[in-house]
Amino acid sequence: MTQSDNKRPEPGVPDDSIDMLLRFAAMMFRSGGTATRTRELVGAMAHRLNLETPSVSLTLESVTLSVYRGSEQFVAIREIGPPGIDFRRLGELERLANAPEATAPPHRIATELAEIESRAPRYSGWQMAIAIGLASGGFAFLNGAALPEMATAAIGGGTGQGLRWWLTRRQLTDFGTAALAAVTAAGTYVLVAALAHRAGIAFSHYAAGFISTILFLIPGVSLIAGLFDLLQHQTVAALSRLAHGALILFIVASGLSIVMTVASIELLPRSAPAELAYPLRLSLRAVASFVAGCGFAMLFNSAPFLVVVAGIVALAANSVRLVLIDMGMLLAPAAFIAAFSIGIIAVLASRRLDAELMAIVTPPVVIMIPGLYAFEMLVLFNRGQMLEAMQASGAGIFVISALAMGLSVARLAVPWER
């Protein structure tokens, strides 16, 4: 990246300015910001610190800056730390970078960054467990399950999320946390289903509920942000995020395979969805989409009113996508149209509400990621069913790519920066 033609700062700028710029970039990327947006806001923050627009290199592990101070060029690097999605932090960092005050001393920026970083999550562990449990039940219905499978998936998903929250607070690695949460969620589903069966409750869509139990573990933000960055020519950051997301998927699928082997569960053939009148099916799909969107918005630490906004956008966009599929449209074009609609609606809503754009965009898109196909692909590959695995992988890859393309086209149609 070439340096801008802005006037270079005087040599008296303290080294703390570069340290604060590195810290800001690391917090932004770690909290789920795309590489493109992180670079833009790092440039804005550099101007507040009386520095030229820096050259920024991002990976999932570190951020590297090349910046001028006076006539000298400095290169600095900082570790980012384990990734985590926090849309409140992203919004506060954006407001800090775009503050109306032209410049600010490094010590003031350091104080504000420390305050942002020290804030506790909006929602407690049990609140997020309930939210993800309800979202898992919603996923089960969207995947064709009936009430017994929905209730069991909700219990399994909530239990898995509760364990994930507990392990995260004890700083276990992402990969270990994902594996244990997957085994716990799927195992809980099997146990509760076995107890229900002894009580005389029949499960006619067992596999749909079983898969829905662990869909909350899909690294949707990593996959979508990685593809989005790839389309914006942020190749290094994109590939590191995609590799991280793919590894999480593989680990979760491995945990799922263990439970499937022990419990002798077969994913295929899929059962036909529960029979319902079409108007009722549309209404229940809308409710399930709203609940799932709200659950993920809470998981990403969005403000309560943005949780509702994200749920409404998910309701509208996912309902349109499912109706298009019912009319005979293929999965990928329907996903493209839905993602494009989300991008446009989210931009207008964020400007109207003065809210974080990513908090409105991400939850509705994440619930459309075909986790069913992704996990089926990995599990079937692991079991040697190559033809079925290739079919599932083709469907999953095309839909995820279509979601990223839809958001990219929406960004071209309506500028996302306020």
| pLDDT by 10-residue block (mean), the chain, 418 residues | 40 67 91 88 88 86 82 83 86 87 82 90 92 94 90 95 92 90 95 92 85 89 83 86 89 87 76 80 94 93 92 94 93 94 90 84 89 75 77 83 88 71
Structural domain ending residue among the three candidates 118, 145, 171: 118
> What integer pLDDT is reported at residue 120 of this predicted model?
87
Same structural domain, 211 and 261: yes
Residue 2 resides in a domain: no
Residue 3 resides in a domain: no
> What integer pLDDT is reported at residue 32 of this predicted model?
87
Same structural domain, 237 and 361: yes
Backbone angles phi, psi at 51, to 5 degrees: -120, 160
Same structural domain, 106 and 240: no
Spell out the residues 6+ positions from residue 328 whose beta carbon is closer than 8 angstroms to its own: none
Same structural domain, 161 and 274: yes
Structural domain ending residue among the three candidates 118, 140, 166: 118
Same structural domain, 139 and 96: no
> What integer pLDDT is reported at residue 228 of this predicted model?
80
Same structural domain, 63 and 153: no
Q: How many CB atoms lie within 10 A of CB 386?
A: 10
Q: Which tokens belong to 339?
A: 């993602």
Same structural domain, 404 and 315: yes
Same structural domain, 236 and 109: no
What range defines the domain where residue 302 resides?
125-413
Same structural domain, 131 and 241: yes
Structural domain ending residue among the three candidates 76, 96, 118: 118
Give the HSE-up count for residue 146: Cα atoms under 13 Å, Cβ half-sphere: 14
Please give the tally of structural domains in the chain: 2
Asked if omega into 269 is within 30° of 0 (cis), the reply is yes
Starting at the earlier edge strand, list the strands of the sheet with 55-58: 55-58, 62-69, 72-79
Residue 247 resides in a domain: yes
Same structural domain, 85 and 139: no
